[in-house]
Amino acid sequence: MKCVRSPNGIKNLDKNAAGEEMGNNPVRKASDNQINKEEISKEIMIGQNLEEDPGFELLKRIINGNTGFNCEHYKEAHFRRRINLRVRATNSESYGAYLKLLKKDRQEYEFLLDALTVNVSEFFRNPETFKIIEKEVIPSLVKYRSGSLTRSIRIWSAGCAAGEEAYSLAILLHRTLKTDFNRYRIRIIGTDIDAQSLEKAKKGIYDENSLKNLDPDTKERYFLKQGDRYRVIDEFKNITQFKHHDLISNPRTDHFDLIVCRNVMIYFKKEIQEQLQLNFYKALEKGGFFIIGKSETLLGTAPNLFRPYNTRERLYIKEI
């Protein structure tokens, strides 16, 4: 079947006027190939036009004003790529045309914000990082907190997407503490700016693909099977909190023992990354751990503040 994009998704070209399939008609095939070439040429032309389109700055201001999404904090190349995804998907030939669409169709803002906020996650994403967390980080936190009166452990999953990372950390805590799990005041806070992802995190229901890194015993112990989906056990929901939080503009929360912010800062401009890393340092308790993405590095004053713990896994510690 030959298909091209239409404003509403995919348009089927392999039907005649009566709606009957055309089969292997060679004349029709040639027509389809010609149409596909025209579509490709059109997309290339739109891409070239967008690079020179002066409406980009106006579009950023409109997005910021109508959604609160501060476009200026992001690297321009990355931001432009994400915007262009929606421009092409809606068959808009310019930023001005896309602005007109936004005015007419308010739902397009939802699709746009979904494109701007990159939410790619799964349980135990980068398993080697979680092995270090399980074997070294969590035992260190437990040992440090076991002598305190409150036995409090606070973890922040910054840029938590749909909650897979936060619940992965809950699994590791339970594996380590076992029967002592309920003797600790554990709070895992997941924050993000994507409302849809946060709602999914609160529900804690995931498909099979999200759990592909889990062995059968882990799935059986920590999830309830519901048809072809899996729901996180209530015990973990009781220790997790998911909320909207803009890392740049909202006040930070402090007193964390572990902060995980992986592959979030990489999309921001250098000066924003430097400020965020300083904020994370201040938000950590002494002896607390900080983990960033493998494609990210410490910038500005951060390398002088954090002590490297495992540079391969981008794991750092705040000195006691």
* pLDDT for the residue 121: 86
* pLDDT for the residue 149: 80
* pLDDT for the residue 25: 42
pLDDT at 11 over 70: no
* Tokens of residue 118, six digits: 């990159």
pLDDT at 289 over 60: yes
Q: Considering only 14-28, 63-77, 180-194, which range has the smallest mean pLDDT?
A: 14-28
Closest CA relative to residue 145, chosen from 187, 188, 184: 184
* pLDDT for the residue 49: 64
In whole angstroms, give the CA distance from residue 234 to residue 236. 5
Confidence of residue 188 (pLDDT cuts 50, 70, 90): very high
pLDDT at 319 over 60: yes
Higher pLDDT, 288 or 48: 288
What's the half-sphere exposure (Cβ side, CA atoms, 13 Å) at 253? 18
pLDDT at 40 over 80: no
In whole angstroms, give the CA distance from residue 253 to residue 234. 25
Residue type present at position 215: D
pLDDT in tens, 100-136: 999 999 999 989 988 888 777 899 999 999 999 999 9
In whole angstroms, give the CA distance from residue 240 to residue 97. 43
Domain ranges for the chain: 3-14+22-116, 127-318
* pLDDT for the residue 181: 96
**Burial of 30 per CB tally in 10 Å (0-12, 13-18, 19+):** exposed
* pLDDT for the residue 84: 93
Average pLDDT over residues 43-64: 75
pLDDT at 256 over 70: yes
In whole angstroms, give the CA distance from residue 109 to residue 101. 10
pLDDT in tens, 42-52: 454 555 567 77
Classified by CATH at the fold level, domain 127-318 comes out as Rossmann fold (3.40.50)
pLDDT at 36 over 90: no
* pLDDT for the residue 21: 40
Q: Considering only 72-76, 171-175, 207-211, which range has the smallest mean pLDDT?
A: 72-76
Average pLDDT over residues 247-267: 94
In whole angstroms, give the CA distance from residue 102 to residue 191. 27
Q: Please state, rounded to an integer, the average pLDDT across all residues of the chain.
A: 86
Confidence of residue 26 (pLDDT cuts 50, 70, 90): very low
Higher pLDDT, 310 or 50: 310
CA distances from 14 to 9, 40, 91, 273, 280 (A): 16, 18, 21, 50, 55
In whole angstroms, give the CA distance from residue 35 to residue 2. 10
Confidence of residue 9 (pLDDT cuts 50, 70, 90): very low
pLDDT at 8 over 60: no
pLDDT in tens, 211-234: 999 999 999 999 999 999 999 999
pLDDT at 152 over 70: yes
Closest CA relative to residue 157, chosen from 283, 295, 311: 283
